[in-house]
């Protein structure tokens, strides 16, 4: 019988760790580690995605054009002496 973390983890969530056997505690720890790893992988994926977006914008020159446009807009708003 193989452990399926997407289905079998429900067996361990409702049980108090004090009442678990050593093998159940090990399985619970394994489940928690897998959940943590999945969460970390998801976070890394999101960070890498936004890094690629930023790099693409920088390489295309859109950020420089936006800065220039914002600077020219702010200079127009300043009173002339």
Read off the pLDDT of residues 25-76 as tens digits, 9 standing for 90 and up: 888 888 889 889 999 999 999 999 999 999 999 999 998 998 999 988 888 8
pLDDT for 31: 84
Say if residue 1's pLDDT is above 60.
no
pLDDT, residue 38, reads 92
Residue 27 contacts residue 3 (beta carbons within 8 Å) = yes
CA dihedral in degrees (41, 43, 49, 50; nearest 10)?
A: -160
H/E stretch holding 77 reads helix 62-77
Tokens read off for 56:
């693409």
Q: What pTM does this model have?
A: 0.56
Torsion of CA 51, 54, 57, 59, to 10 degrees: -60
Locate the domains of the chain by residue range. Answer: 7-77
pLDDT value for 59: 92
In this predicted structure, the answer to whether residue 80 has a pLDDT above a threshold of 90 is no
Check: CB of residue 33 under 8 Å from CB of residue 41.
no
């Amino acid at each position: 019988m193989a452990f399926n973390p997407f289905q079998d983890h429900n067996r361990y969530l409702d049980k108090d760790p004090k009442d678990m056997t050593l093998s159940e505690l090990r399985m619970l720890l394994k489940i928690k580690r897998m959940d943590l790893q999945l969460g970390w992988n998801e976070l890394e994926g999101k960070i890498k995605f936004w890094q690629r977006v930023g790099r693409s914008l920088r390489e295309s020159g859109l950020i420089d054009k936006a800065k220039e446009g914002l600077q020219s807009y702010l200079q127009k708003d300043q009173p002339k002496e």
